[in-house]
Amino acid sequence: MVTTIRFDVDGPVAVATLTRPDKLNALSRAVVSELTELVERVIDDESVRVLVLAGEGRMFSAGADVEEFREAFGTGKVDPTATEAESRDGTRLADALADPRLVTIAAINGAAIGGAVALVTACDLRVMAEESKIMVPELVMGFPLAWGGVPRLVAQLGPSVVRDLLLTCRALHANEALRRGYACRVVPADDLMASSLELARLIAHRPEFGVTAALRRIAALESGGHVDDDAVTLAQATLDPSVMSATTAYLANI
């Protein structure tokens, strides 16, 4: 049973909402586990094309759950093995959000802090409310950001900007995020979910073959991995019925 997330589906668009507003949607072990299971399940559900990730209340997520963090680190007696295992759980979640088989959109209200930044950065697109921000304060305590967050931030913002954000722990506000290409939209807070869902529905009706191929290519370019042969991929697209149907409809209307 999912206890920390509300999950709604409307046709090809799903919304996963963190529902711990009294805890500022902190990423407890239960949240990470339940959200990972949910995202991986949605990836395998061919009827869902786009997932919007949101946070209930005044903040997307404050990052680590303070009570769990205090329990693990407050005494100064830390189990490195357990710490590594929990970090890998977070990386698994971020990797699921970045899977090219599912388009993911982060709808950021208030703030995304710490580990929450790793999650929204793993998403394909970010829609930010006007007064929202992201912030990575880990180095105040001397901890590096984990969950694959740093490589993805560098790919999105460039190494110089990420050095600034991580070393100073300053906030990246919505307008700067838009200017730097990290956010794709900045909208009034009251319009955040409507704008995110409008974007999701638009993308959900693009043929799946081309969307997945594009996301895989972008991910490969970001990571320096193997990029597909675009001529071969283009040829393969002609064998996909949804691609040819969309092409026929497009040509008939121009």
List the chain domain ranges: 5-204, 208-252
Planar angle of CA 123, 157, 57, nearest 5 degrees = 45
Using a pLDDT cut of 90, give the percent of the chain over it.
87
How much is the pLDDT for 1? Answer: 66
Token look-up 């040829």 returns: 235
Taking a C-beta distance cutoff of 8 angstroms, is the pair 138, 118 a contact? no
Q: Is 171 left (phi over 0), alpha (psi -120 to 50) or beta?
A: beta
The DSSP output letter for 228 is: P
- What is the distance between the alpha carbons of residues 161 and 97, in angstroms, rounded to a whole number? 23
The DSSP output letter for 227 is: P
- What is the distance between the alpha carbons of residues 203 and 189, in angstroms, rounded to a whole number? 22
Planar angle of CA 172, 178, 182, nearest 5 degrees = 70
Could you tell me which of 122, 121, 117, 124 has the C-alpha nearest to residue 103?
Answer: 124
Q: What is the CA radius of gyration of the chain?
A: 19
Could you tell me which of 7, 199, 6, 21 has the C-alpha nearest to residue 110?
Answer: 21
pLDDT tens digits, 44-58: 999 999 999 999 999
What dihedral angle (degrees, nearest 10) is formed by the CA atoms of 217, 219, 221, 226?
A: -70
pLDDT tens digits, 32-88: 999 999 999 999 999 999 999 999 999 999 998 988 888 877 777 788 998 899 999
pTM score: 0.94
Taking a C-beta distance cutoff of 8 angstroms, is the pair 53, 95 a contact? no
pLDDT tens digits, 17-26: 999 999 999 9
Fold of 5-204: 2-enoyl-CoA Hydratase; Chain A, domain 1 (3.90.226)
pLDDT tens digits, 86-142: 999 999 999 999 999 999 999 999 999 999 999 999 999 999 999 999 999 999 999
How much is the pLDDT for 66? Answer: 85
Distance of CA 78 to CAs 69, 84, 137, 170, 201, Å? 11, 11, 20, 28, 45
How much is the pLDDT for 85? Answer: 94
How much is the pLDDT for 76? Answer: 75
What 3-state class would DSSP assign to 209? helix
How does 62-73 read in b/e, with b if 16+ C-beta sit within 10 Å? bbbbeeeeeebe
Average pLDDT, the chain: 95
